[in-house]
């Protein structure tokens, strides 16, 4: 059910898509054995990458 009375705005649908996308990403990272070092390799300059590489 959408939040607006007209049922036109995809508020619930967009939230569901984000949840499903996160679930797929987490499942794939486990299947591919994605490590902390891999994360640091793809995010070398940001705060999370620095934390992953330390």
Q: Give buried/exposed letters for 1-24 (b at 16+ CB in 10 A, else e).
A: eeeeeeeeeeeeeeeeeeeeeeee
5 pLDDT exceeds 90? no
Return d(Cα 44, Cα 51) in angstroms, integer: 9
Alpha-carbon gap, residue 50 to 46, rounded angstroms? 6
Structure confidence at residue 3 (pLDDT): 64
- CA-nearest of 10, 47, 51 to 2 is 10
53, 44 Cβ separation under 8 angstroms: yes
Q: What is the pLDDT of residues 8-23, one digit of tens each?
A: 766 677 788 899 999 9
């Amino acid at each position: 059910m959408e939040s607006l009375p007209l049922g036109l705005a995809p508020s619930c649908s967009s939230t569901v898509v984000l949840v499903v996308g996160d679930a797929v990403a987490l499942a794939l990272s486990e299947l591919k054995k994605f490590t902390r070092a891999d994360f640091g390799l793809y995010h070398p300059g940001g705060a999370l990458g620095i934390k992953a590489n330390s």
